[in-house]
Amino acid sequence: SSVCVHGLGYIGLPTAAMLATHDHDVYGYDTDGVLTAALREGDVKLDEPGLEALVVRALESGRLRAVDDVAAAEYHVICVPTPFDEERREADLDYVADAAQAVGSVLREGDTVILESTVPPETTEEHLRPLLEESGLVAGRDFGLAYCPETVLPGNIIAELRENDRIIGGVDDRSATAAVRLYESFVEGEIRTAADPTTAEFVKLIQNTARDVEIALANEIARIAHDYGIDSREAIAMANAHPRVEILQPGPGVGGHCLPIDPWFLGVGSDSLDLVPTARAVNDGMIGFVVELLEELLSDLDGKRIAVFGVAYKGNVDDTRMSPGLELVRELQHEQKPSTPATDGGAPDTPGVAIHDPHVVDSTLRLLDAEDAVAGAHAVVITADHDEFTELDPGRLRGLMAEPNVVDTKGMLDVDRWRNAGFDVRRV
């Protein structure tokens, strides 16, 4: 079939390439002309294992074309960002609206439109549908309309795109059947149809909310364990030996563009959120706990230099959206304000805070290599579990630091090795 994929980010680009390598003729459309031009040269800016190879293969086959104008196609798959508007406490659906308008301009009878972006319940029916019907065509009668959430894990996108189960909610049976036909061409997992798009939207949100709440429990356990002088990771590992207990791992909080946001989408049309916002607050509060651990080591943070290792939102990705590492940088800059004021725009270049991240490329951050970051520092804090950090040589770092302290928020360092090298170690 012919497919136009709208939005070539972390989801749209791999989806477009996957479809193109499964015999579809794919137009990859993005409003960012710089991005599409780079793609035509085979230049993939996202740090995702296997993505560049897949995209290059798709481009070389001639079945994937990165285009600057929306193309007519039998299927339109919308994969645009849906940020959370903090002030209005609602989803920002502007990109969805723009995509709907683009689709509407080329929509024909018999085409099928599929929304993949994460959205509050009822968005497909109440928001997208009327925008598309401005074309004069009617959903369910003249064209198909379905919601099919992506569920892939950054860092493992290509495998999960193929292997994960999918949920499809169509506005009617024909829409659902048409959407199923597209996904079954490359999905090896099970494809399930939900009663309607709203149910499918809800399912996606409760998946991410479940994970957020489960991580909050792990984080709260870590704080309680700390009060008792217990190693929380050891305790959790033992607890998990029970056949019906599966506690997740504590850390510096929950980052990314999904888990910190999706629980709020759930509450856009409901007053029944109670546990969920509390869990959010627990996760957001973990940076405060990390600062407490630093204060245990240094008593006073003022005038101290802290090296923050990992400003990606999690290990082995380059994405810094809502990252705990950056949140810590801001918090430390704030703590140190009197002697070392932060510059405007939140650009973390306070002399008291140094940043190192082997995955992140970001010209607005002053990123240093590991040794420059620890030079003269009083503590290192690990805030993302990048594989590279297991290779750090504590003996060598110690020689460069003002004081040998480390806070490992991800429990990834070999504690004995760091202690033997003279470090005072704290772990979340």
Q: What's the helix, strand, coil split of the chain in %, to 5?
A: 40, 15, 45
CB of 303 to ligand SAJ, least distance (A): 30
- Choose which of 13, 167, 258, 380 interacts with ligand SAJ (CB under 6 A): 258
How many helices (H) and strands (E) the chain has is answered by 17, 15
- Choose which of 2, 199, 207, 340 interacts with ligand SAJ (CB under 6 A): 207
- Choose which of 40, 174, 211, 398 interacts with ligand SAJ (CB under 6 A): 211
Instruction: List the Cα angle 185/159/6 in 5-degree steps.
Output: 60
Nearest to ligand SAJ of 256, 404 (CB atom): 256
Burial class (CB in 10 A: 0-12, 13-18, 19+), 386: buried
CA 414 to each of CA 160, 163, 396: distance values in angstroms, whole numbers, following the listed order: 30, 33, 15
Q: Determine which one of 4, 148, 258, 304 is catalytic.
A: 258
**Would you give the end-to-end CA distance of the chain in angstroms?**
50
Nearest to ligand SAJ of 217, 421 (CB atom): 217
Nearest to ligand SAJ of 193, 316 (CB atom): 316
Nearest to ligand SAJ of 304, 314 (CB atom): 314
CB of 288 to ligand SAJ, least distance (A): 15
Using CB under 6 A as the binding rule, the residues of this chain from 137 to 166 that contact ligand SAJ are: 150-154
Which range in 40-48, 188-196, 244-252, 331-339 contacts ligand SAJ by CB under 6 A? 244-252
Nearest to ligand SAJ of 98, 160 (CB atom): 160
Using CB under 6 A as the binding rule, the residues of this chain from 105 to 134 that contact ligand SAJ are: 118
Q: Active-site residue 258, yes or no?
A: yes
* Number of other residues whose CB lies within 10 A of the CB of residue 422: 12
CB of 208 to ligand SAJ, least distance (A): 5
Burial class (CB in 10 A: 0-12, 13-18, 19+), 341: exposed
Q: Determine which one of 204, 304, 314, 410 is catalytic.
A: 204
Nearest to 350 by CA among 339, 359, 358: 339
Nearest to ligand SAJ of 219, 350 (CB atom): 219
Whole-number Å distance between alpha carbons of 66 and 51: 15
Under 8 Å between Cβ of 396 and 374: no
73 contacts ligand SAJ (rule: CB under 6 A): no
CB of 339 to ligand SAJ, least distance (A): 31
Nearest to 255 by CA among 208, 220, 222, 223: 208
The residue type found at 174 is R
Applying CB under 6 A, what is the total number of residues that bind ligand SAJ? 20
Using CB under 6 A as the binding rule, the residues of this chain from 288 to 317 that contact ligand SAJ are: 313-314
Binding residues (CB under 6 A) for ligand SAJ: these are 118, 150-154, 207-208, 211, 215, 248-249, 251, 254-256, 258-259, 313-314
Give the residue numbers marked as catalytic: 204, 258
